[in-house]
Amino acid sequence: MLNVIFIAIAFSAAMVTNTGNMSPHKAVIADANHRCEGFVAFWYNLKPHIENRDYNAIADHTQFPFTVQGIADFIAHKKVYREEFSGVLNEILNDVQSDSSDAFDSKVTTTYQILLKATPIKGQHSVCQGEYASIGDLEFKKIDGRWYLYAGYLSTLE
């Protein structure tokens, strides 16, 4: 029992040492080579629509057909067109996930809550890799110089 407590304390100390804190409000950081600065501007333009669940405005920033992926590689991807997008995006936003701020994965949150906490910063390392970026369970890509939401993960996709 003492070994388990010691391991938990050591793990927590390592997490604090590696991250500087255990805050659940971690920033999404833009690429040091400035390839992704446009994504930061795109994200801050899109985020209010996510906060308000304005699915029509989000659709205006989405490439269709939108791809819905399951959590397992063997699950076939589903293509969603604008007409069904609101319902599918609502499911994705309400999808339950483990809270990354909890070292023991005992807390849960939703994709929506993760997106509300995302705060990109220009000029540092990123979840953005050139023409692609991801926040929570949403995937973005740059097409002809513009960023678009193009895919999302849904744990209940069968």
Q: Which is more confidently placed, 56 or 111?
A: 56
The predicted model gives 50-70 an average pLDDT of 96
Question: What is d(CA 5, CA 11) in angstroms, rounded to the nearest whole number?
Answer: 10
Question: What is d(CA 33, CA 39) in angstroms, rounded to the nearest whole number?
Answer: 13
The predicted model gives 144-153 an average pLDDT of 94
Question: What is d(CA 37, CA 54) in angstroms, rounded to the nearest whole number?
Answer: 24
- Sequence-distant (6+) residues with CB within 8 A of 73 are none
- Sequence-distant (6+) residues with CB within 8 A of 46 are 58, 61, 149
Q: What is the residue-averaged pLDDT of the chain?
A: 76
- Sequence-distant (6+) residues with CB within 8 A of 117 are 24, 25, 26
Question: What is d(CA 59, CA 139) in angstroms, rounded to the nearest whole number?
Answer: 14
- Sequence-distant (6+) residues with CB within 8 A of 115 are 47, 50, 93, 135, 136, 138
Residue 11 has pLDDT above 60, yes or no: no
The pLDDT of residue 8:
42
- Weakest-pLDDT range from 22-31, 95-104, 144-153: 22-31
The pLDDT of residue 34:
54
- Weakest-pLDDT range from 25-29, 74-78, 81-85, 128-132: 25-29
pTM: 0.71
DSSP E strand stretches across the chain: 62-69, 78-80, 96-98, 108-110, 128-129, 132-135, 138-143, 146-153
The count of other CB atoms within 10 Å of the CB of residue 114 is: 20
- Weakest-pLDDT range from 11-20, 108-117, 127-136, 143-152: 11-20
The count of other CB atoms within 10 Å of the CB of residue 5 is: 9
